[in-house]
Amino acid sequence: MATTKTLRVNGKAVTATVDDPATPLLYVLRNDAGLHGPRFGCGLGQCGSCTVHINGEPVRSCTRPLSSVGARDEIVTLEGLGTKEKPHKLQTAFIEEQAVQCGYCINGMIMQAAAFLKKNPKPSVPEIKTAMQNNLCRCGTHMRIVRAIKRASEA
């Protein structure tokens, strides 16, 4: 039975109609809200490239069923975190450090790090590594990502 649901995404209302309430949030964000930030990597919650914030908490949207997201929940994606005109300090730091290669994982890296820095604004390098432990990068950009997060924390 198709159900229609309205979500709050980056401060705007997004309405989607899905057949199955277990549909992962990721597909609604990408296909109904037309967002490019959250990315499909594994669909298993293992790699982190689909990370978004729900009420400030980092969430793997590829395994988060739509049914578990309420109309009042605030969903923020990479596009909502900051823009070219008003960048988040992590986005600025990633550019400063050139902490991107292919960039496919970078959505998850920035979203995970943004939630982490809210809880731990002045982390050590080992704390950063542990916080990012479950986000995978295949290009091997790790050194720069750590530097960018450290830089953002000092900004």
Partner 1 sequence: MNAMFEKTFPRRDFLKGAGALVVGFTLANSMRASDAAAMEIGPYGPPVDQVDSWLAIGEDGRATLFTGCCELGTGSSTGLMQIMAEELDVAFDRVRLVGPDTSRTPDQFVSSGSRTISAHSRPIRQAAAEARAALVELAAKRLGVPAEQLATANGVVSVKSDPAKKVTYAELVGGKQFSVKVTGKVKPKATNEYKIVGKSVRRVDIPEKVFGTFTYMQDVKVEGMLHGRIVRPPAHGASVVSIDESSVAHMPGLVKVVREHDLVGVVCKREEQAIAAAQALKITWSNWADLPDMKDLHSTLHNLPEYSEGYPKDAPGGVLTKSGDVDAGLTNAAKVVRATYLSPFNHHASIGPSCAVADVRADGTTLYCGTQTPYGTREAVAKFMGLPNERVRLIYTEASGCYGQNGADDVTIDAIVLSRAVGKPVRVQWSRADENGWEAYKAARISECVGGLDQNGKIVSWQARTFGSSGYSRPEYHEPKHGGEPGSLVTAQLAGWDKPGLEEGFSGAAGNFEPVYEDMPNKRVVFTYLGPTSHRQGPLRIRVGSMRGVGSPDNIFVAECFMDELAAAAGMDPIEFRLKHQPRPRGVAVLKAAAQLAKWETRPSHSKPSSGDIAYGRGVAMLGSNTDTNVAGIFEVAVNKKTGVVQVQRAVIAQDCGLVVNPDAVKNQIEGGIIQSISRALKEEVTFDRSRVTSLDWSTYPIITFNEIPDAIDIVLVDRSDLPPMRVGEPASESVWPGVANAVYDAIGVRLRQLPLTPARVLAGLAGNA
Chain residues that interact with partner 1, rule: CB under 8 A: 2, 18-20, 23-24, 27, 30-31, 35-37, 39-44, 46-47, 49, 77-79, 82-84, 87, 91, 94-95, 98, 100-107, 110, 128-130, 132-146
CB of 136 to partner 1, least distance (A): 6
CB nearer partner 1, residue 8 or residue 45:
45
Rounded CA gap, 111 and 132, in Å? 10
Report DSSP state, residue 31: I
CB of 92 to partner 1, least distance (A): 9
CB of 71 to partner 1, least distance (A): 20
CA proximity to 128, closest of 143, 141, 108: 143
CB of 55 to partner 1, least distance (A): 20
3-state secondary structure of 102: coil
CB nearer partner 1, residue 13 or residue 102:
102
Which of 95-115 are b and which e, b meaning 16 or more Cβ less than 10 Å from the residue's Cβ?
A: eebebbeeebbbbbbbbbbbb
Beta-carbon count within 10 A of 136 CB: 16
